[in-house]
């Protein structure tokens, strides 16, 4: 079971990884795959996002919104 700080850490570390990639940093495929697997393990599920959207509609929208398609 993922606890709240693990969700937060996964989101922030995913942002860090995307920032690294966008800046052209070289990451070998195995390292990238390992990091992605680790991040996805605790990344928020759509149901977590939906719960957040219910409480903070100015920050999140529901995962079943039409824009997602």
Q: Kindly give the confidence (pLDDT) of every residue in the chain, 69 residues in length, as a single tens digit, with 9 standing for 90 and above.
A: 789 999 999 999 999 999 999 999 999 999 999 999 999 999 999 999 999 999 999 998 888 877 766
Determine contact, residues 35/57, Cβ cutoff 8 Å.
no
Q: For residue 66, what pLDDT is reported?
A: 74
Q: For residue 67, what pLDDT is reported?
A: 73
Question: Residue 2 contacts by C-beta under 8 Å, 6 or more apart in sequence?
Answer: 41, 42
CA separation for the pair 24, 42 (Å, rounded): 26
Residue carrying structure tokens 């920050």:
59
Domain containing residue 26: 4-68
Strand segments (E) across 1-69: none
Q: For residue 64, what pLDDT is reported?
A: 84
Split into its structural domains, the chain has a count of 1
pTM, two decimals, is 0.82
């Amino acid at each position: 079971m993922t606890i709240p700080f693990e969700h937060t850490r996964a989101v922030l570390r995913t942002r860090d990884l995307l920032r690294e990639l966008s800046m052209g940093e070289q990451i070998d495929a195995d390292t990238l795959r390992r990091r992605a697997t680790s991040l996805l393990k605790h990344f928020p599920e759509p149901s977590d996002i939906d719960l957040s959207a219910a409480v903070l509609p100015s920050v999140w929208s529901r995962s079943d919104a039409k824009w997602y398609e």
